[in-house]
Amino acid sequence: MLTVASAFALASFVLGAAGLALRGRRTARRALPPDRSPLKGDPARGVVYAFTLGMAPWAKESTRLHALAYLRGIGFHLGIFLAMAALLLRPLWASLPWPALKAVAVAIIVCGLLGAGGAAARLRERSLRRLSTRDDHFAVWLVSAFILATGLALLVDAWIVPAYLIAGVMFLYVPLGKIRHCLYFFFARLFFGKFVGRRGVLPHATTATRTAGVR
């Protein structure tokens, strides 16, 4: 079962990565509408801002007003990377000190619970429930299950096969459902950065600079 499950996860990863690459290629080929506005700033500076400070919590009103949800999302996405790295490095688990392995497992499980908390919020909170689609619900629960199963696999061998199976389903679903936003995220931030950078809108000038400009 372990051999079959790991082979399924590997094959699913290859297929999912190929599907995501195909979507990326198609998206990159799409022509953007020409920006005919006068050049007032540096597009490159806008792109740098979009991928750095533009994602900070104080740069977005939604995250400033909902700090706990923002932190929950950060933990959830951190758990994705930790779980994928842990599953990739599974042959090394036996050689790692038990306290270190346990610490990583606990961290991953906590991140998975944060993801499940976010999924539950989509069902509990009226505004989120009305905005969420079946794809939203399925994707968040699926990824949360992957994180939790991987964390448990670090502690209990019996969870290794379920972790591989859930990972395989997740990899296959990546290019088909909402999870593919991991690709579109880069296109969106790049477009946003060029757009606001060209117009000189962002990054915002500091208060001192604006005051000096008025004077």
What is the tens place of the pLDDT at every residue in 43-52? 888 888 888 8
Residue 110 falls inside a structural domain: yes
pLDDT at res. 125: 85
Number of domains the chain is built from: 1
Condensed to tens digits (0 to 9), the pLDDT of residues 157-178 reads 999 999 999 999 999 999 999 8
Distance CA 215, CA 211 (A): 6
Q: Does 82 fall in a domain? A: yes
54 domain residue, yes or no: no
ω into residue 203 within 30 of 0, thus cis? Answer: yes
Tokens 């297929």: give the residue: 15
What the block records as the tokens of 77 is: 């996405």
Closest CA to 125 of 69, 176, 166, 203: 69
pLDDT of the residue at 207: 41
In a domain, 193, yes or no: yes
**With a cut of 50, which residues of the chain have pLDDT below it?**
206-215
In a domain, 30, yes or no: no
- Give me the pLDDT at residue 128, please: 83
Asked whether residue 117 is domain-assigned, the answer is yes
Inside any domain, residue 84? yes
Contact (Cβ atoms closer than 8 angstroms) between residue 181 and residue 164:
no
Question: pTM for this one?
Answer: 0.82
Q: Give the separation between CA 154 and CA 173, rounded to whole angstroms.
A: 24
Token duo for residue 213: 């400009």
Q: How far is it, in rounded angstroms, from Cα 139 to Cα 49? A: 29
In a domain, 26, yes or no: no
Alpha-carbon span 176 to 160, nearest angstrom: 25
Q: Which two tokens mark 54?
A: 């533009």
For the chain, what's the residue count?
A: 215
Domain region containing 143: 1-21+71-199
